[in-house]
Structure 1
Amino acid sequence: MEATTFGDVWRDVFTAQPAPPMWLVVTAGVVALAAVLFRPVWRVGRNVVTIAHEGGHAVMALLSGRQLTGIRLHSDTSGVTVSRGRPTGPGMVLTVAAGYITPSIVGLLCILLLLGNRVTALLWMSILVLAAMLLLIRNVYGVVSVVGTGAVVFLVSWFTPPEVQAAFAYFFTWFLLLAGIRPVFELQAQRSRQPSPHSDADQLHRLTGVPGIVWVLFFGVVNVAVTAAGIWLLMF
């Protein structure tokens, strides 16, 4: 980015960039899929998924009228979002249900920006969202995770040419879109191996009486549907 004044920055952020070639879009998708499937890379990338997951809990808590207390992100890629309000009822159900479906939904929202060739706008909106989330983080690892993610996005948006920004933005979008599915399988595997009353599915079981496995299927169906819609928008 070559802007020198605030007006220049604002103009550069919201100016549409040239549409990237289809090979770049496809390649970014293939690389993102490999990042989801290749375990060593997934261990690192899953931190980004956790940020989106806990952000989903936080946003839904606010939308449902709950008082948001804070967010903690852990090095094992788990996280906790704490809010105050009624311990039962629709608001609590929506808050708990939002986490696992948020990464894919965020990926779909990113696609809507990319369809308008707003690559830089997407990157800077991501930075603003991460900055807002940083205010709610309550542990050191969470701060490092959010700041590190934001720093990578900022460096790409400020110091790289449009072609690199586009490649990164499409990879980032593909990754969120595809990465929403794997944690659902991991959730059920963990429930089968070591049942925990604290998983989102089991919390929803207590709140609604609907079996946890049904909630796991709900997460999976929503994420697969959203991913399919995103692939169709990007490729066709």
Structure 2
Amino acid sequence: MSDLWVTLTTARSGPPLWVVLLSALAALGVVSWSTSWQLSRGLITIAHEGGHALMALLTRRKLEGIRLHSDTSGVTLTRGRPRGPGMILTAAAGYVAPSLLGLGGAWLTSSGYVEVLIAIVIVLLFCMLLLIRNLFGVVSLLATGGAISAFTWYAEPDMDAALAYLAVWFLLLGGVRPIVELQRKRRYGRAPDSDADQLARLTFLPGGFWVFLFLVVAGACLVAGAYLLLPPAFKLSW
């Protein structure tokens, strides 16, 4: 346990600039290419539904369960007052959760605490697993957590860092695309029960405002996270 504590609390030096840029380009390619996006979008859905669940717990709503579907959609079921701040915050947390998680990951990764980030992700996946209420969701979380655990166990420390940078870039970039897709669906009337439209019914603000707010938060996280991920020497040169 003492060795584990030392590993978690010892900051390591960051990778060279080319690793940071290469991981960013790889994440951008995954998010931009339709085929790879459909295969990886479920990871963003996990973060999305996790955001709903966490906010529900923080606002003291009763969390009944989470379902993840094979079409990369998901639903988080809560019980409590049908209106009010708790319901509004819970509904608003989903689309911004991947970007906020990416920003937190960027801060930890840039500070050299890659192992802490990996440990937090595994713990969050385990906690979420306890709330899953369908078989596909269980398989998705077990596969994700198992892949991360196996990679970090067998890979060299430098490879752990590369994986962390790739994952953080994926969250920062992947947090933006679903918001753009949401507005496109709303424009053609294909998402009448989206989070933004639910928020419009809960508040006096239109759904378009909430989509814009989601996009502002995701964009700010992307800019701030990108700056954090740059090597210190490169930041000083600015």
TM-score tier (shorter): over 0.9
TM-score (norm 1): 0.94
Tell me the alpha carbon deviations over residues 78-128 of structure 1, each in whole angstroms, 9 at most, x when there is no partner. Answer: 110011110000110000001001101100000111122111221121111
**Distance apart, 1:19 and its partner CA:** 1.9
Kept in 2, the 8 Å contact 1:17–1:162? The answer is no
Corresponding residue for residue 190 of structure 2? 195
TM-score (norm 2): 0.93
Q: Write the distance in 2 (CA, Å) between the matches of 1:90 and 1:114.
A: 33
Residue among 152, 157, 166 paired with 1:157? 152
- What percentage of aligned pairs have identical amino acids? 50
SS at structure 2 position matched to 1:209: coil
Corresponding residue for residue 171 of structure 2? 176
Q: Write the distance in 1 (CA, Å) between the matches of 2:50 and 2:37.
A: 19
Kept in 1, the 8 Å contact 2:186–2:192? The answer is no
Q: Write the distance in 1 (CA, Å) between the matches of 2:165 and 2:201.
A: 39
SS at structure 2 position matched to 1:80: strand
Corresponding residue for residue 11 of structure 1? 6
Q: What runs of 5+ residues in structure 2 fail to find an aligned partner?
A: none
Kept in 1, the 8 Å contact 2:8–2:115? The answer is yes
Alignment of 1:74 with 2:37, yes or no, is no
Corresponding residue for residue 136 of structure 1? 131
SS at structure 2 position matched to 1:98: helix
Alignment of 1:32 with 2:27, yes or no, is yes
Q: Write the distance in 1 (CA, Å) between the matches of 2:166 and 2:109.
A: 11
Corresponding residue for residue 3 of structure 1? none
Kept in 2, the 8 Å contact 1:119–1:166? The answer is yes
Tell me the alpha carbon deviations over residues 196-216 of structure 1, each in whole angstroms, 9 at most, x when there is no partner. Answer: 332101100100021111111
Q: Write the distance in 2 (CA, Å) between the matches of 1:10 and 1:148.
A: 26
Kept in 1, the 8 Å contact 2:61–2:79? The answer is yes
Corresponding residue for residue 118 of structure 1? 113
**Distance apart, 1:8 and its partner CA:** 2.9
Residue among 95, 98, 102 paired with 1:107? 102
Alignment of 1:44 with 2:39, yes or no, is yes
**Distance apart, 1:15 and its partner CA:** 2.8
Q: Write the distance in 2 (CA, Å) between the matches of 1:11 and 1:75.
A: 40
Q: Tell which deviates more after alignment, 187-196 or 30-39.
A: 187-196
Alignment of 1:206 with 2:215, yes or no, is no
SS at structure 2 position matched to 1:196: coil
Q: What runs of 5+ residues in structure 1 fail to find an aligned partner?
A: 1-5
Kept in 2, the 8 Å contact 1:124–1:154? The answer is no
* Alignment RMSD: 1.2
Write the letter of the residue equivalent to 2:103: L
SS at structure 1 position matched to 2:12: coil
Corresponding residue for residue 20 of structure 1? 15
Kept in 1, the 8 Å contact 2:125–2:145? The answer is yes
Q: Write the distance in 2 (CA, Å) between the matches of 1:164 and 1:60.
A: 33
